[in-house]
A and B are shown apart, each in its own frame.
Chain A
Amino acid sequence: MARVRLAPRSPKPQVAKPLATAPFIAPAVLVVVALMYLPFLYSVYISFTSYNGLGAPRWDGIANYVQLFHDPEMADAIRNTAVWVAGGVVVPVVLGLGLAVLTYGMRHGPWYRLPFLLPYAMSGAGIAVIWGFILQPGGAFGDILKLLGIPGSSTAWLSYWPDSTLAMVVASAWQATGVNCLLFVVGLQAVPVAVLEAAEIDGAKAFTKFVRVTLPLLRPMTIVVVGLAIVGTLKTFDIVWVMTQGGPGYTSTTLATAMYSQTFVANSYGYGAAIAVLLTVVTGLASATYLKQQVQVGAAKR
């Protein structure tokens, strides 16, 4: 127990003895170490072994990693993950930005935004169920195409690549647009009204104002939104697993679904772990590169 002090002596007094502090910090540290750090390290180890869940893992060197580069399924997984990142960054971010700019400061703005927010709290599995139904051959999506006179009304969207992956990217954009819009609205709230008004007084056209004033001021929030989109889409699993299980064959698989099916369908734990390590490295590199580039661009502008 710390002794009573009548006046603080130093700006950062160490207020409790280490033994008194430990019970507060220990539960969090123990839980996280036991269920996250140790599994993480064990996955790294398993990725260098051959292991099917029975018996003991057998040391296999870098064989799993060599296989990664010769496996046509991995080529598809990497290609599709790239499509997911590109589509997931462009479509919902641009739509979210557009909606935010259109509704910001408008009377009843939150009501106009509500339809876009409704899907946000839904699960990937729920989204997959709805869109799996809509995208059936001759389903609701086909009906809309027919109504608009666009060919493809009886296409089986999920049965062929690249339609399958593109259709799932659209389903995911339907979910993600609303929250991006909300984040951009928060970003716009940080833009001083005076700046926008000054641009208007100077006679800036709406588009010029958007490109020259609004976008640069939204930069900090754009960095956050795009960063979240990159990291989120790299790990795409739920929608793909429920809609196509990565199929037909493995044509619509992603890194995350390939990891799951190699591990728990094909029982190749070691190879699955190697895919997980690859996913970790890709996610880490993408985040680091992205942040570094953003910092450099930010510094160059100053």
Chain B
Amino acid sequence: MNRLGWAGVLRRAVLIAAGLAWLVPIYLLVVNAVRPSAAFTGTNEWTLPSSFGLFENVATAEQASGLAGSLASTALYSIVSPALAVVIGALAGFGVSVLQPRRPFFWFMVAFGGAVFPAQMLLVPLFVAYAQLNLYNTPQGLVIVYTALSVPLAALVLRNFFGGVPPHLFQAAQIDGASLWTTFWRIYMPVAWSALVAVFILEFTFIWNDLLFGLTLASSNSVRPVMPALASLQSAYGGSTIPVVLAGGIVASLPPVVVFLAAQRFFARGLTLSQVAEA
């Protein structure tokens, strides 16, 4: 390591020290979520657990806040809603940038504009309307709201993506007599595969991690998403021990972290907007 020189060694030392400091909260999370609830004394949080209590802690968390039901419904919301939103956004992106209606930019801005409203502006009306339409505390109600929240980003990315597709692709399909639907589903959707996946994963993460809408629009253990469930587990009234709360935190956090890290390479590819032009 002579080649590095003092500056290089110092730089690496600083980075490694900072990286280790950053990992301390994760170490504490894992060690104490694995520690059996009864073995947690309040002062032994740094030591490695002597036995493996993670599953037991998760089971206790499940009893306290219905974590399993929340996980299942969260999985449903964060898969179905982005899937719907990606299709709806792709339809709009195709309509706006390939079919070129009159005033395409206006229609695009209508679809995308929803993204600028803070969530707080939507809560009261959605809560009131959901109560009246019997959508409050129903899975379909949450799927609908998460789909709507995901449409603007999908429309933005897919509009830009389809805008970069050479127009002769569309003309060739027309000459071959393909209908607009066929052109969309059989030619444009497959071409946009990596962009669709990138948007899907971003929105999967966003919905999985949502607290605010789940808190507002659902109440029962089986419908409420996992983050509001975790929040209730954490609250002082929950009466759960720290290993139980942390075990709940791990179970609730793991899916988006794993998906996000595994899918990193898609972002570089899928969000490069005009890559099709080279294909």
Contacts and interface: CB of A to CB of B under 8 A. Distances in A.
B59 interface: no
Nearest to A282: B118
A116 interface: yes
A8 B170 CA distance: 11
A102 interface: yes
B45 A139 contact: yes
Contacts of A235: 118-120
B22 A116 contact: yes
B260 A121 contact: yes
A259 to B, nearest CB: 5
Interface stretch (B50-58, B107-115, B191-199): B107-115
Given A112-B15, A241-B231, A242-B231, A28 B121 contact: no
Contacts, number: 267
A123 interface: yes
B96 A25 contact: yes
A138 B45 CA distance: 11
Contact of B145 (A18, A20, A35, A263): A35
Interface in A208-236: 235
Given A14-B102, A121-B261, A28 B151 contact: yes
Interface in B70-113: 88-89, 91-92, 94-96, 98-102, 107, 110-111, 113
Contact of A123 (B22, B42, B144, B208): B208
A295 interface: no
A36 B211 CA distance: 18
B147 to A, nearest CB: 7
Nearest to B216: A264
Q: Is the interface of A mostly helix, strand, loop or mixed?
A: helix
Interface stretch (A58-66, A160-168, A191-199, A272-280): A272-280
Which residue, of B19, B120, B152, B179, has the highest number of chain A Cβ atoms within 10 A?
B120
A241 B232 CA distance: 11
B63 interface: no
B248 to A, nearest CB: 8
A184 interface: no
A238 B128 contact: no
Interface string A12-39: 1111101011111101110111111111
A175 B7 CA distance: 28
Interface in A242-277: 242, 245, 255-256, 259-260, 263-264, 269, 272-273, 275-277
A1 interface: yes
Given A35-B145, A121-B205, A123-B252, A280 B230 contact: no
B117 A280 contact: yes
A129 B171 contact: no
Nearest to B123: A263
Nearest to A7: B171
Contact of A25 (B92, B129, B170): B92
B167 interface: yes
A234 B259 CA distance: 28
Contacts of A264: 123, 127, 216
A277 B121 contact: yes
Contacts of B32: 133
A8 B95 contact: no
A35 B94 CA distance: 22
B246 A27 contact: no
Which residue, of A115, A124, A284, has the highest number of chain B Cβ atoms within 10 A?
A115
B272 to A, nearest CB: 11
A140 interface: yes
B102 A18 contact: yes
Given A130-B25, A133-B246, A241-B231, A35 B211 contact: no
A123 B253 contact: yes
Contacts of B248: 129
Given A36-B149, A280-B120, 7 more contacts: A16-B100, A32-B113, A37-B114, A40-B117, A120-B260, A235-B118, A264-B127
Give 3 closest A-B pairs by Cβ, nearest first.
A24-B95, A123-B209, A36-B114
30 contacts: A6-B175, A8-B167, A15-B170, A24-B91, A24-B180, A25-B107, A29-B111, A31-B148, A32-B151, A32-B152, A33-B110, A35-B145, A35-B148, A36-B114, A37-B114, A112-B19, A116-B18, A116-B22, A119-B22, A121-B256, A123-B256, A130-B29, A140-B45, A174-B25, A238-B211, A242-B230, A260-B215, A264-B127, A264-B216, A280-B121
